[in-house]
Amino acid sequence: MVQPAASHTTHARLALVALLVGSACGSPPPLDKQLGTLASWTATMQLAKERHGAGAITGTYATQLRDRADEAFQQASTTIGGSARTRADSGYAAAALDSLRGAIRQLEAEIGS
C-alpha cells in the first residue's frame, strides 16, 4: 500500500532524529576506538616521562598531562566493559587499562607526585 507523502516525511524526520540522538548520546564507543584512546594516552605518558627526564617539560605541565590521562583512564574504566563482547575483548580491555595505569604511575614517579 502506498503511504501518503506526509507519512514518508514523518518517517524521514524520525530516522534523522534517531540518527542524531544515537550518535550524540547512544551506546559506548566501539572497543577498538577505546583501546586506541588508551594506547594513545599510554604513549603520551611514556613520552612525557622521557621529556621530563630530559628537562624539556616542567613538572607543572607533566602533572596536567597526568591528570588528563587519569580522566581518560576513569572514563574508559566505566565504559569499556560495555563494549567488550567476548572474553578475549575483556582481556584486551584489561591489558590496555593496566598499561595506562602503569604508565601513569611511572610518570608520577618521575615527577615525584
Partner 1 sequence: MKKWGELALGVVTSIGGFLEVGSIATSAQGGAEFGYQLAWVLLLGTLSLAILMEMTGRLAAVSKRTYADLLRERFGYRFFVLPLVAVFVVSLLVLTSEVGGVSIALQMATGVDFRWWAIPTVLVGWFLLWRGNFSVVEQGTAMLGLVAISFAVGALVLHPTWPTLGRALLPSLPAHDRARYWYLAISMLGASISPYLYLFYSAGAIEDDWTIEHLGVNRITAGLGNVFGGGLAIAALVTAALVLAPRGIKVDRYEQIALVLATPLGRAGFVLFIMTLFITCFGSTLEIVLAIAYLLAQGFGWSWSENLKPGKDARFSTSYTVLILLAALPIVAGMDPLSLTNISMVVTAASLPVTVIPLFVLMNDGDILNTHVNGWASNLALVVIALFSLALLVAALPLQLLGGG
Shortest CB 91 distance to partner 1, Å: 20
Q: Is 12 in the site for partner 1 (CB under 8 A)?
A: no
Q: Which of 23, 27, 78, 86 binds partner 1 (CB under 8 A)?
A: 23
Q: Per-residue DSSP letters for 16-81?
A: HHHHHHHHHHSSPPPHHHHHHHHHHHHHHHHHHHHHHHTT-S-HHHHHHHHHHHHHHHHHHHHHHH
Q: Which of 40, 74, 106, 113 binds partner 1 (CB under 8 A)?
A: 40
Grid cell locating 34: 577505546
| Residues at the contact surface with partner 1, assessed by CB under 8 A | 19-20, 23, 29, 33, 36-37, 39-41, 43-44, 46-48, 51, 54-58, 60-61, 63-65, 68, 72
